[in-house]
Amino acid sequence: MNPGPLDEGAKVASGFMDAMRGQPLALALAVCNIMLLGIFAFVAHMAAANREREFNSIITMQKEVQLLLYNCTPDKPRG
């Protein structure tokens, strides 16, 4: 019977943990790298949210300025 992907994944994880048991510094480095990836994901998410908020603010400001300029023109279309 052929082992499935779950069995293969378990073998890889068990082999990784066996290798890391003998070298705790490498395990600490792997944990730090995973934490760093998490921090990068969080920063990217926060930057995207901030960029969206700024974009919406700019669009709102431009609409207000366009409305003010439209009201200042002497030749407004009648209708």
Please give the residue that has the higher pLDDT: either 50 or 73: 50
Please give the residue that has the higher pLDDT: either 3 or 44: 44
Secondary structure of 22-79 in HEC code, one letter for each residue: HCHHHHHHHHHHHHHHHHHHHHHHHHHHHHHHHHHHHHHHHHHHHHHHHHHCCCCCCC
The number of residues making up the chain comes to 79
pTM: 0.58
Domain boundaries, the chain: 7-72
pLDDT, tens only, 3-30: 778 888 888 888 888 887 888 888 889 8
Rounded average pLDDT over 33-53: 97
Residue type, 57: S
